[in-house]
Amino acid sequence: MELAPLGAEADVAPAVLNALALREHGAAAGDPLDRLAAALRTRTALLVLDNCEHLIDAAAAVADRLLGECPGLRVLATSREPLGLTGEALWPVHPLPLPPRDADAAQAMSYAAVRLLNDRAAAARHGFAVTEETAAAVTRICRALDGMPLAIELAAARLRTMSAEQLAARLDDRFRLLTGGARSAPRQHRTLRAVVDWSWELLTDPERALLRRLAAFPGGATVEAAEGVCAGGPVEVYDVLDLLTSLTDKSLLVTAGDGRYRMLETIRAYGLDRLAEAGEEERIRRAHAAYFTELARTADPYLRRAEQLEWLARLAAEHDNLSAALRGAIAAGDARAAVRLVAAAGWYWWLSGHKADGARLAAQALALPESGPEPAGPGLAREGGRDGEGGGDGRDEESRAVACALAVLFATAGLGDDRQTAELLREGVLLAERTRSRHPVVRFLDPMDRILRSAAAGGTPPPDAWEGAQADEDPWVRAQGLLEGAKTLLGTGGRPERAEAAIEAALAGFRGLGERWGTSFALTLLADLVARRGDHAAAIGHYEEAVAVLGELGAVEDRLYAWVRQAQLRRLAGDPAGGAAVMARAERAAVAAGWPEALAMVAHGKADLARWNGEPDLARAELARAREVTRDVAVHPVFRAVVLDSLGYLDAADGGPEAARAHRAEALDLALAAGHAPTLAQVLVGVADQALRQDRPREAARLLAGALAVRGGPDHSRADAARVEAAARSALGARYAEHERWAGSAAGAPEAVRELARVTLDG
């Protein structure tokens, strides 16, 4: 029995009687439901009630009466919500399974959604088929339409006059596009909008209000989030749970039993249209941003404690909502909301492996003109600060100080260029002083400012730059200060034993807090230091532990460096197969991460490994890849220097010292400008190789001694230094020791070493 044509006030029982050809005759015919029950009481039958949703109460009453009186009767009802009867068994009709985004033609055709599109499109246009050329577009179409059969059929009809690529590109406007249903179909099945309109028209006003407001949540919503953002007008806070349940029963929301309510993208697109029609976009945007800012602000301190996994998981579940809230604030020019959200969520982006997004969004938020007075209105109550703070200038300035600190952190991380951060750094320092902010990340602005200003003036980092952090009342800040102090000490060629003691103390501090990111950072620095003195087995163990700890956080990119160094050390320790396996793992992770710096780091690591293994063609190809993927990225001078240093060895092996001269000279200039002692020492070893190839072993020995002095000790973690030193010793014999002492004499001051390197490269 098809109920869709019946009006909302129609009586179901007479319609069923009519369908069964049991018509009433005169007034004596009696009550239609009585007649229907009498007719079916002794029969074994299946009664199908199709499309009940607009007559749900009436259909439920008829089904309940008949099932109670007709033991041989079964009722099959199709509807967007259950009838709500005792003993009712539900069979949800889910969307069709969808292929992965990168599916090839054969894989795509193994999914029902693609097969349906293929069949209907082939019927609409002769010769249509899912091929390797069309598989990507077809997959995008099916995924964009959530695997909804009717939407896919409407899309297939459009393929009569459009290519799959054209259709996929236009699905942002799906409701205007998908209008080609069969003329014989019910009106609610002729266009995609009509399908959703049919359900929308059956909702109550509170259900409609909640549904359109929930469209602002691209990552779905918890009950608490829906209450915090969507309440107001016809939606009472205490009704939100019941309304969510009702919308789920009506198949307009979906839930996987995890406490989150989500929309299919088609329903969400419809909801956003209705939100705009209701004039609620801006109010809900602000309420949404305020709710997730407060959530991130609450989570932030726990991200530096043992509870960080629990809170990272909670924020990860809201990642799409956090990103959408910030992008929405940026698009609206709402600087206050954008900066507050950066300050609240920035450390989450750092820990969770979203550094590139964090850097970009932080820069965009901080570049906005400052907002005017914050408007009052519904949905903003939750944006008030803790301890009774309102939204005043003091809190905004503190948020900006934290956001500046995070932006500086993002800019100076990994392979990024940190020379453009001075303005933000200085602004953050001034704001921190004015607001007396105690946020942990802000505590590092002053030492970073002192270090960068010293570098800009051509000096070395102040030796006491990190003393304030190392004496801070916050144990996390103290541990981080110890690590940064050790890192600075090693970067200036300080005593390794002092740095190692600081790293060990920091490691103990982070472990005491249960803070995994700091623990991994300390383990990685410790591994670097242990590897330098030649204890490769211990260094590999530290790298492995660092990777395991980072694995708990789920951040891929932070593991790449440890994997690359582990691979190289395994080769040096006599395990080339193990090294190759770890490097392959690093490469897979870098490709999955997709950001240029990760790909470049792994490519350079692979190049050096190939070079040490006697595979120059592979090494050169990997170095070319490292330079290509970072062609449009601001790359740190240290990374450029080590890539050029590696190229120098390949050039020298292929064409002699003259071929290597240009790359080595540029590497030396970059290393000197960066002021990073380990990188300068590494480049000096390359220049020593140049001297040997020019038959100048005395200069090579002095350059090697200079590298040792610059670094503050030997480096047994790279194959080049050992090979070049062995060659110099072989050429000089007993005289090597005489030149080895040169770097400790007055003639061997850093300026003399640099001058010697330049003379060597000048020929």
Q: pLDDT: is 390 or 442 the higher one? A: 442
**What pLDDT digit, counting tens, does each position of 89-138 carry?**
988 877 888 999 889 999 999 999 999 999 888 888 888 899 999 999 99
Would you say residue 306 has pLDDT above 90?
yes
Distance between start and end Cα atoms, the chain:
96
Query: Domain segments of the chain: what residues?
Result: 12-77, 105-193, 203-279, 290-459, 641-763
The predicted pLDDT at position 372 comes to: 52
In the three-class reduction of DSSP (H, G, I as helix; E, B as strand; rest coil), residue 744 is classed as: helix
- The topology under which CATH files domain 203-279 is Arc Repressor Mutant, subunit A (1.10.10)
In the three-class reduction of DSSP (H, G, I as helix; E, B as strand; rest coil), residue 75 is classed as: strand
Candidates 483, 383, 385; CA nearest to 435 is 385
**What pLDDT digit, counting tens, does each position of 26-78 carry?**
444 568 888 888 888 888 999 999 878 778 888 899 999 999 999 999 999 98
The predicted pLDDT at position 410 comes to: 86
The predicted pLDDT at position 56 comes to: 84
Q: Give the DSSP H or E segment for 77.
A: strand 73-77
Candidates 354, 353, 363, 297; CA nearest to 330 is 363
The predicted pLDDT at position 750 comes to: 66
**What pLDDT digit, counting tens, does each position of 564-581 carry?**
999 999 999 989 999 999
Task: Say which residues have a Cβ less than 8 Å from residue 497's Cβ, sequence separation at least 6.
Answer: none
In the three-class reduction of DSSP (H, G, I as helix; E, B as strand; rest coil), residue 748 is classed as: helix
**What pLDDT digit, counting tens, does each position of 579-608 carry?**
999 999 999 988 887 778 889 999 999 999
Per-residue burial over 338-351, b = 16 or more CB atoms within 10 Å of its CB, e = otherwise? bbbbbbbbbbbbbb
Largest pairwise CA distance in the chain: 128
Q: How confident is the model at residue 184 (pLDDT cuts 50, 70, 90)?
A: very low
CA–CA separation, 528 and 500 (whole Å): 10
The tokens of 454 are what?
């010293």
* CA distances in angstroms from 705 to 64, 496, 700, 741, listed in the order given: 94, 17, 9, 7
CA–CA separation, 455 and 488 (whole Å): 12
**What pLDDT digit, counting tens, does each position of 397-447 carry?**
999 999 999 998 888 764 344 556 788 888 999 999 898 888 999 999 999
Helix, strand, coil share (%) of the chain residues, nearest 5: 70, 5, 30
Q: Is the dihedral of CA 503, 504, 510, 513 positive or negative?
A: negative
Candidates 53, 58, 44; CA nearest to 16 is 58
**What pLDDT digit, counting tens, does each position of 130-183 carry?**
999 999 999 998 998 888 887 888 788 788 778 888 888 887 777 766 665 444
CA–CA separation, 752 and 239 (whole Å): 79
Candidate from 147-151, 209-213, 390-394 with smallest mean pLDDT: 390-394
Percent of the chain beyond pLDDT 70? Answer: 90
Q: pLDDT: is 238 or 267 the higher one? A: 238
Q: What is the 3-state secondary structure (H, E, C) of 447-490?
A: HHHHHHHHHHCCCCCCCCCCHHHHCCCCHHHHHHHHHHHHHHHH
Q: How confident is the model at residue 392 (pLDDT cuts 50, 70, 90)?
A: low
Would you say residue 189 has pLDDT above 60?
no
Q: Span 256-271, mean pLDDT? A: 87
The predicted pLDDT at position 651 comes to: 94
CA–CA separation, 686 and 757 (whole Å): 10
**What pLDDT digit, counting tens, does each position of 494-531 carry?**
888 999 999 999 999 999 999 999 999 999 999 999 99
Per-residue burial over 145-178, b = 16 or more CB atoms within 10 Å of its CB, e = otherwise? bbbbbbbbbbbbbbbeeeebeebbeebeebbebb
Q: pLDDT: is 314 or 186 the higher one? A: 314
Q: Span 700-727, mean pLDDT? A: 91
Q: What is the mean pLDDT of the chain?
A: 86
The predicted pLDDT at position 385 comes to: 38
CA–CA separation, 122 and 138 (whole Å): 13
CA–CA separation, 708 and 720 (whole Å): 13
Give the burial class of 322: count Cβ atoms within 10 A of its Cβ; 0-12 exposed, 13-18 middle, 19 or more buried.
Answer: buried
* CA distances in angstroms from 624 to 35, 415, 599, 634, listed in the order given: 85, 17, 12, 17
Would you give the DSSP letter of residue 749?
A: S
Per-residue burial over 459-495, b = 16 or more CB atoms within 10 Å of its CB, e = otherwise? eebeeebbeebbebebebbbbbbbbbbbbbbbbbbbe
Pairing verdict, β 260-261 and 221-222: antiparallel
The predicted pLDDT at position 238 comes to: 94
Q: What is the 3-state secondary structure (H, E, C) of 339-399?
A: HHHHHHHHHHHHHCCCHHHHHHHHHHHHCCCCCCCCCCCCCCHHHCCHHHCCCCHHHHHHH
**What pLDDT digit, counting tens, does each position of 281-291 carry?**
999 999 999 99
**What pLDDT digit, counting tens, does each position of 233-250 carry?**
999 999 999 999 999 988
The predicted pLDDT at position 267 comes to: 86
Candidate from 180-184, 221-225, 269-273, 601-605 with smallest mean pLDDT: 180-184
Q: pLDDT: is 454 or 195 the higher one? A: 454
Q: How confident is the model at residue 299 (pLDDT cuts 50, 70, 90)?
A: very high
